[in-house]
Amino acid sequence: MLPNWFNKWNSENPTNIYGPAILVGAAGVAVTVAAFLVVVGQPFATESLQTGPRGTGMSVPEFNSERLTPDPTIEVMYTEAPYIPEGGEPLARDIYQNVQVLGDLTEDNFNRVMLAITDWVSPEQGCAYCHGDVALEEYGNDDLYTKVVARNMIQMTQNINENWDGHVNANKQVGVQCYTCHRGQNVPSDIWFRMGSVNEAAAGWAAIQNRVTVQSQFTSLPSDALETYLLDYGQINVHDLESHVAEYPADGIQTWQHTERTFSLMNYVSNSLGVNCNFCHNSRAFYDVEQVTPQWSTEMLGISMVLEINNDWLVPLEGVYPPERLGPVFADAPKAACKTCHKGYIQPLQGTNVIADWPELATTGAPVYE
């Protein structure tokens, strides 16, 4: 039916029609699936987390596959119910030497807490991590810096549980203890140090941005946001919301540089909790503090809490740490931030009540056993 020359040419110049056909077919399937999702909706179940008054669109949809996936560190967390004192038992301070904290515990509860801290912080090294490889009679010595730091951290934990209830227990009673940050590691993950200039090709403001860093959450935003807002009490603010305002950079005047640094901090907070901006802010009135969600206040308390943790508890330990535990640039003490506890979840350890079995860490006074 076709001319001989055409048949001859086709036989001598074969063409692969299957490759293009597969490509076109795959593209067609992708377009069909995309159209289906747009019309019908995505097939995976979600749960909306209500973050503000109903009817205002203030909610955060979460995939059930992510929302219901347990934090793997919860299952391996060690806990043990306390021994309820009957009264009259000798106290740890009367039995052991140099017990500066937790001395009002009975011997059984004191040893119980010590074993738990060992499991939470140094499961591989055991008691020797703080006390050294010495006889039990020498455990009262303060020869190792780890013991001095641990004592300070116990006091810090008690202070957080006692004085920062508005942040820690904003939704329900959960508390904090050593495992909240350490998760079985000597040094908690997601600590941070001062960085200084990160862009050697520039000076001034440009020297702290346009380089991907951990502090800026792998963006080119300013790398000194944690230092400014979680250590130096910097004012979290953005530029003037009015256009063409006759203002010049000065004290109290927020510039675009302040805005970029604020964005860097907010990006860090979002990643730390695994949420987006509208978890705290009203998307239709983003800058109006009268229309924010309740979580905004909880976060502001958290920032104040971290400022206290860093300045009153962590930075003063700089002279206690050995050089290898200090920052690589300024030899500064390790510091905490939101991700140190939250690690990508709205609540650390997904809201597990970690203080229920540990009333000894819930107060600076004598524990209340129930």
Mean pLDDT on 257-283: 91
Q: Which of 114-123, 172-181, 207-216, 316-325 has the lowest mean pLDDT?
A: 207-216
In a domain, 241, yes or no: yes
- pLDDT band for 331, please (50, 70, 90 cuts): very high
**Between these two residues, 52 and 246, which has the higher pLDDT value?**
246
> What local confidence, expressed as pLDDT, does residue 242 receive?
74
* Cα angle 37, 42, 43; round to 5: 115
pLDDT tens digits for range 112-153: 999 999 999 999 999 999 999 999 899 999 999 999 999 999
Query: Residue 275, SS3?
Result: coil
Q: Tokens in use for 190?
A: 């997601």
Q: Is 300 marked within a binding site? A: no
| In a shared domain, residues 93 and 138 | yes
Q: Is 195 marked within a binding site? A: no
Q: Is 131 marked within a binding site? A: yes
With 90 as the cut, is the pLDDT of residue 17 above it?
no
Task: Give the span between the Cα atoms of 310 and 312, in whole angstroms.
Answer: 6
| In a shared domain, residues 362 and 336 | no
In a domain, 35, yes or no: no
| In a shared domain, residues 210 and 156 | no
With 70 as the cut, is the pLDDT of residue 83 above it?
yes
Q: Is 338 marked within a binding site? A: yes
Q: Which of 117-121, 179-183, 252-256, 322-326 has the lowest mean pLDDT?
A: 252-256
Task: Tokens 């009259």: give the residue.
Answer: 88
Q: Which of 45-59, 117-131, 304-318, 356-370 has the lowest mean pLDDT?
A: 45-59
Q: Is 305 marked within a binding site? A: no
Q: Tokens in use for 321?
A: 């740490």
- pLDDT band for 268, please (50, 70, 90 cuts): very high
Q: Which of 20-24, 99-103, 268-272 has the lowest mean pLDDT?
A: 20-24
Q: Is 1 marked within a binding site? A: no
Q: Is 277 marked within a binding site? A: yes
Instruction: Give the Å distances, CA to CA, from 215 to 192, 218, 223, 268.
Output: 7, 7, 5, 8
Q: Tokens in use for 311?
A: 């300045």
In a domain, 117, yes or no: yes
- Dihedral (C-alpha) 143, 127, 175, 100: value to the nearest 10 degrees? -40
- pLDDT band for 366, please (50, 70, 90 cuts): confident
> What local confidence, expressed as pLDDT, does residue 1 receive?
67
| In a shared domain, residues 290 and 149 | no
Q: Can you give the three-state secondary structure of 86-104, one letter per residue?
A: CCCCCEHHHHCCCCCCCCC
| In a shared domain, residues 107 and 143 | yes
In a domain, 176, yes or no: no
Q: How many CB atoms lie within 10 A of CB 187?
A: 10
Q: How many domains does the chain have?
A: 2
Q: Which of 57-66, 119-128, 133-142, 174-183 has the lowest mean pLDDT?
A: 57-66
Mean pLDDT on 341-361: 95
**CATH code, 291:** 1.10.468.10
Q: Is 266 marked within a binding site? A: yes
In a domain, 289, yes or no: yes
| In a shared domain, residues 358 and 323 | no
**Between these two residues, 35 and 215, which has the higher pLDDT value?**
215
Q: Is 167 marked within a binding site? A: yes
With 70 as the cut, is the pLDDT of residue 100 above it?
yes
In a domain, 48, yes or no: no
- pLDDT band for 64, please (50, 70, 90 cuts): low
Mean pLDDT on 225-234: 96
- pLDDT band for 365, please (50, 70, 90 cuts): confident
DSSP letters for 35-61: HHHHHH--SS-EEEEE-SSTTTT-EEE
In a domain, 25, yes or no: no
Mean pLDDT on 251-272: 88
| In a shared domain, residues 196 and 336 | yes
In a domain, 52, yes or no: no
| In a shared domain, residues 335 and 354 | no
| In a shared domain, residues 116 and 242 | no
Is the CA virtual torsion 150, 190, 172, 351 positive or negative? Answer: negative
Helix (H), strand (E) at residue 270: helix 256-273
Q: CA nearest 303: which of 332, 334, 262, 344?
A: 262
> What local confidence, expressed as pLDDT, does residue 361 receive?
97
With 90 as the cut, is the pLDDT of residue 55 above it?
no
| In a shared domain, residues 244 and 325 | yes
> What local confidence, expressed as pLDDT, does residue 193 receive?
97
Q: Which of 35-39, 157-161, 263-267 has the lowest mean pLDDT?
A: 35-39
With 70 as the cut, is the pLDDT of residue 92 above it?
yes
Determine what percent of the chain is predicted with pLDDT higher than 90: 61
Is the CA virtual torsion 292, 298, 301, 307 positive or negative? Answer: negative
| In a shared domain, residues 332 and 360 | no
Mean pLDDT on 88-116: 95
**Between these two residues, 163 and 87, which has the higher pLDDT value?**
163
- pLDDT band for 50, please (50, 70, 90 cuts): low
> What local confidence, expressed as pLDDT, does residue 48 receive?
64
Mean pLDDT on 105-118: 97
Look up the domain containing 260 and give its range: 190-342
Q: Is 244 marked within a binding site? A: no
Task: Give the span between the Cα atoms of 366 and 92, in whole angstroms.
Answer: 12
> What local confidence, expressed as pLDDT, does residue 57 receive?
59
| In a shared domain, residues 258 and 359 | no
Q: What is the mean pLDDT of the chain?
A: 89
Give yes or no for a contact between 195 and 215, defined as CB atoms under 8 angstroms apart: yes
